[in-house]
Amino acid sequence: MSNAIEPMNVVDMDLETKIKVAEDIGRVMGHFNIRDAVTHNGDRYSHDLAAGTQTVATKGTCITLRENTVTITLQRQGASLDSTLAETTNLTQELQGALGGVAQSTVSRRLAKS
């Protein structure tokens, strides 16, 4: 018998479940006063106190929670990384990388070329 907790496959979840998971993650991270976190597979969490936002990003989906609103960014199927980066300049490079399924260093190099 294993006590291991299996990682969640957020990519295959429906949108409503993704939002609930983002809210749950935000609640837990906020409770522990965590500003930024990254999982082994590159998913990201970011809490910006000044802006009043909590953002959870995983390959293809970025959810930003505010007090009264939820903003969802979905990468279109077949969209290139460069076009996705161009349209998500409001996100940090770390969050852009999680959304695009690449490392922040890749985002930095791609943006430096453009």
2 within domain boundaries: no
Percent of the chain with pLDDT over 70: 90
77 within domain boundaries: yes
- Could you tell me the pTM of the whole model? 0.86
Tokens encoding 99? 């959304």
4 within domain boundaries: no
Res. 103: pLDDT tops 80: yes
Amino acid 13: pLDDT: 84
Q: What is the CA radius of gyration of the chain?
A: 14
Exposure string over 32-47, b if 16+ CB within 10 A, otherwise e: eeeeeeeeeebbbbbb
pLDDT digits (tens, 9 = 90+) for 52-91: 999 999 999 999 999 999 999 999 999 999 999 999 999 9
Question: Are 95 and 103 within 8 A, CB to CB?
Answer: no
3 within domain boundaries: no
pLDDT digits (tens, 9 = 90+) for 1-48: 555 555 666 667 888 999 999 999 999 999 999 999 999 989 999 999
Domain membership of residue 76 as a residue range: 10-113
Vertex 54 angle, CA 63 and 48, to 5°: 135
Percent of the chain with pLDDT over 90: 84
Res. 109: pLDDT tops 80: yes
Considering its fold, how many domains does the chain have in total?
A: 1
Amino acid 114: pLDDT: 79
